[in-house]
A and B are shown apart, each in its own frame.
Chain A
Amino acid sequence: MRILYLLVMIALGVTAAGTDVLAQQSLPDGFAGKFRGTLSASGGGVAGEFTVAISKTDGGFTVAWPPRISASFEPANRPGVFVSRERTQILEGNPVYWARIDNGSLVVYAAQVDELGGYRIDSFLYARANTGLDLVIRRLVTGAEPQISSGRLMRYGG
């Protein structure tokens, strides 16, 4: 009897773990839509109006944000990690995008090396809020202290 109980518990554990992994391989509810708001910044970070459009795709999702950046993400072979498989050669000047889902938050990354060898790496942390998304942007730029911007984005456009 005790062995049967153990087997049932192990099976339940495996199922729960599998569900967690599946949940991490898709965009959680609440992120798809259009959002806009005003960001305040410290240390020269991104400030002012900010809009983002997030949509689910087959097996992944797309994120579009200013100025005219759009990246499509699909699951990497690591739980909770998504990659954009478009041009990935960062040293040839191509921006590289990837994302991860962590504790129900969505983090989108954009990294680029410019023609002078300088870098710019942005991370966009989106957390679900009652009326939209809370956003924190961390920006690393060559020769400057890390910059942080934050604000609440409200859902709009249905």
Chain B
Amino acid sequence: MAAERRHIRSFFAAFAGLALLATAAGAAEPEATIADFFGTYIGNGRVAEDGEYRDIIVAIAPAHKGFSIYTSTVIRKGPVRAVPGVKWRAETQRFVKSSVPHLYEPMLRESMFAQRRSPNLLRGDTVAWASIRGHTLGVYAMDVLEDGHYELRVYERTLTDLGMDLRFTRYRDGIAIRRLEGILARADD
């Protein structure tokens, strides 16, 4: 009985030690900076809901007071690219540091006559922002729709040994209605 108690004690001691080590390792790991994300990433992904394939290129680069993200996406129904109906989309988003620490906001192209105003969710504006948490660069876009429901689009790009894990989720009123996961490799310079 005493031996059994000793075993249990040593098991918990070992477990506590491992937990402490894990915590220490986690605490020692520095948070990524935006410069850590600069580069080009190539890979593919699939949409959870309909199994559609995506070929993805992401290029993140420094930009004036912030960064830009170029995303190229080939949308295809099956494993072969060269088929009728294949689609391609490309976009570049630019973010600049906001007045709030740790927060980036979309760079707005404004005419010299336009008066700048902060986006207002309740007046139908899309509110978008970006931030880094751990090794994940998150880009978020939120809308309150005409009927009062809300929609949140979350793009999370996490640095990995290979390059980057990509995760996109579209939420409507707290329910995930579209999810895409992808794995990308960092392209050599």
User: Given known contacts A78-B147, A80-B147, is B121 in contact with A116 (CB within 8 Å)?
Assistant: no
CB distance from B106 to the nearest CB of A (A): 11
**CB <8 Å contact, B129 and A117:** yes
Which of A88, A117, A121 meets B122, CB within 8 Å? Answer: A88
A92 and B118 alpha carbons, distance in the complex (Å): 10
Q: Which residues of B contact A (CB under 8 A)?
A: 98-105, 118-122, 127, 129-133, 136, 138, 140, 142, 144, 146-150, 152, 171, 173-176
Question: A140-B171, A146-B175 are known contacts. Are A115 and B98 too (CB-CB below 8 A)?
Answer: no
B residues less than 8 Å from A146 (CB atoms): 171, 174-176
Interface residues of A in 90-125 (CB under 8 A from B): 90-93, 96, 98-100, 102, 107, 109, 111, 113, 115-119, 121, 123
Whether the pair A78, B146 counts as a contact (CB closer than 8 A) is: yes
- Give the docked Cα–Cα distance between A107 and B173 (Å): 10
Q: Which residues of B contact A88 (CB under 8 A)?
A: 120-122
Query: With contacts defined as CB atoms under 8 Å apart, how many contacts are there between chain A and chain B in the complex?
Result: 97
- Alpha-carbon gap, A88 to B140, bound state (A): 18
A98 to B133, CA, bound (A): 28
Tell me whether A81 is interfacial, beta carbon within 8 Å. yes
Chain B residues, CB < 8 A from A99: 148
Can you list 10 A-B contacts (CB < 8 A)?
A98-B144, A100-B149, A115-B102, A116-B131, A117-B102, A118-B131, A119-B142, A140-B152, A142-B133, A143-B136
B contact residues around A139 at 8 Å (CB)? 174
Q: With A140-B174, A146-B174 known to touch, is A115 a contact of B101 (CB < 8 Å)?
A: yes
A113 to B139, CA, bound (A): 13
A109 to B133, CA, bound (A): 25
A70 adjacent to chain B (CB < 8 Å): no
Q: Is the CB of B105 within 8 A of A91?
A: yes
B146 — which chain A residues lie within 8 A by C-beta?
78
Interface contact B127-A91, CB-CB below 8 Å: yes
Distance (whole angstroms) from the CB of B62 to the closest CB of chain A: 19
- Inter-chain CA distance A32–B119, complex, in Å, is 33
Interface centre among B101, B132, B148 (most CB of A within 10 A): B148
Of chain A, the residue at the smallest CB distance from B120 is A88
Looking at the assembled complex, report how far the CB atom of B48 sits from the nearest CB atom of chain A, in whole angstroms: 13
CB atoms of A83 and B122 under 8 A apart: yes
- Whether A46 is near chain B, meaning CB under 8 Å from some CB there, is no
B residues in contact with A121, CB < 8 Å: 142, 150, 152, 174
The 10 closest A-B pairs by CB, nearest first: A117-B131, A100-B148, A138-B174, A81-B148, A83-B122, A117-B103, A116-B102, A89-B118, A140-B174, A88-B120
Decide: B148 and A91 in contact? CB cutoff 8 A: no
Contact A123 B147 (CB under 8 A): no
Q: Which of A90, A98, A142, A148 contacts B138 (CB 8 A)?
A: A142
> How long is the Cα–Cα vector from A4 to B138 in the complex, in angstroms?
62
Structural contact, A91 and B118, CB atoms closer than 8 A: yes
| 4 further interface pairs, Cβ-Cβ under 8 Å (given A90-B121, A123-B174, A142-B133) | A90-B127, A91-B103, A99-B148, A118-B133
